[in-house]
């Protein structure tokens, strides 16, 4: 069976756990050489070890995507490792605290914006420059269903993810003729460490979250990883500027 990304060089940020880890594993399964990046060094190392155990090729580069110098070093390191950058998944993000807009802590607002929006832009900036040099590539940003609809008590997260969707569409238009496709996935409720923190391990809160999903369950990181890889592959060659809900019907309600 042919592998969809055989020989491609890929980068996945936030790959130390959750959706990023699952995405990195699917990229490797499909034949890509993968740069795994995260601020979580032990988590990143675990992701690399799991990929290598399955016969894939992966390397870890630590990066805080909110810091421009670290992002520049990340992209430089990725190109030094594999010679080019064909696919980039900008997945790293944080959830922050839950509070109404009028009471939201300013320091937390700034932290979420620095990582979830500015960090994505910093990564895109460097990735686009590299892809222009080599004649093309694919970028997929992890937005959220919260980038398409409002979510009470999460103003900073929602604002940042809406920003990611807008940034994705704008950049897609700017670089469409340069053979660089830029898309976003918008996951619904997915069983990851982030959702565990958000529900605080409370079964009643978790049940309420699941009840919001028309399919009656949470998604899995692997399901989001499959969408990320599909958008990065030749199978999606005529798709750019899309914000694809992968959400069990959540935003269709």
Q: Give the active site residues.
A: 157
First to last CA, the chain: 38
Q: What is the DSSP letter of 5?
A: T
Distant-in-sequence, close-in-space partners of 234: CB < 8 Å, separation ≥ 6 = 4
Distant-in-sequence, close-in-space partners of 224: CB < 8 Å, separation ≥ 6 = 19, 22, 23, 142, 185, 187, 190, 246
Distant-in-sequence, close-in-space partners of 78: CB < 8 Å, separation ≥ 6 = 9, 11, 35, 61, 85
Answer whether 45's CB lies under 8 Å from 60's CB.
yes
Sign, CA torsion 161/163/166/170: negative
Place of tokens 């899995």: 220
Beta pairing, strands 9-13 & 33-38: parallel
Residue of 191, 219, 189, 222 whose CA lies nearest to 30:
222
């Amino acid at each position: 069976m042919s592998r969809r990304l055989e020989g491609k060089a890929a980068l996945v940020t936030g790959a130390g756990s959750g959706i990023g880890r699952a995405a990195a594993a699917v990229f490797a399964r499909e034949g890509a050489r993968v740069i795994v990046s995260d601020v979580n060094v032990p988590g990143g190392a675990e992701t690399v070890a799991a990929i290598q155990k399955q016969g894939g090729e992966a390397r870890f580069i630590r990066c805080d995507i909110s810091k421009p110098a670290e992002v520049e070093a990340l992209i430089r390191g990725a190109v030094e490792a594999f010679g080019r950058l064909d696919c980039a998944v900008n997945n790293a993000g944080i959830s922050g605290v839950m509070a109404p807009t009028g009471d939201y802590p300013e320091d937390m607002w700034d932290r979420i914006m620095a990582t979830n929006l500015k960090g994505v832009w910093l990564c895109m900036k460097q990735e686009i420059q590299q892809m222009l040099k080599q004649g093309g590539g694919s970028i997929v940003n992890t937005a959220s269903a919260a980038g398409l609809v409002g979510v009470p008590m999460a103003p900073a997260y929602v604002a940042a993810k809406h920003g990611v969707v807008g940034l994705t569409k704008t950049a897609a238009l700017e670089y469409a003729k340069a053979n660089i496709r830029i898309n976003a996935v918008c996951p619904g409720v997915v069983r990851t460490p982030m959702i565990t923190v958000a529900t605080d391990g409370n079964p009643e809160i978790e049940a309420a979250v699941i009840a919001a999903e028309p399919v009656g369950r949470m998604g899995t990181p692997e399901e989001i990883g499959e969408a990320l890889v599909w958008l990065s592959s030749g199978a999606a060659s005529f798709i750019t500027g899309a914000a694809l809900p992968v959400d069990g019907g959540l935003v269709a309600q």
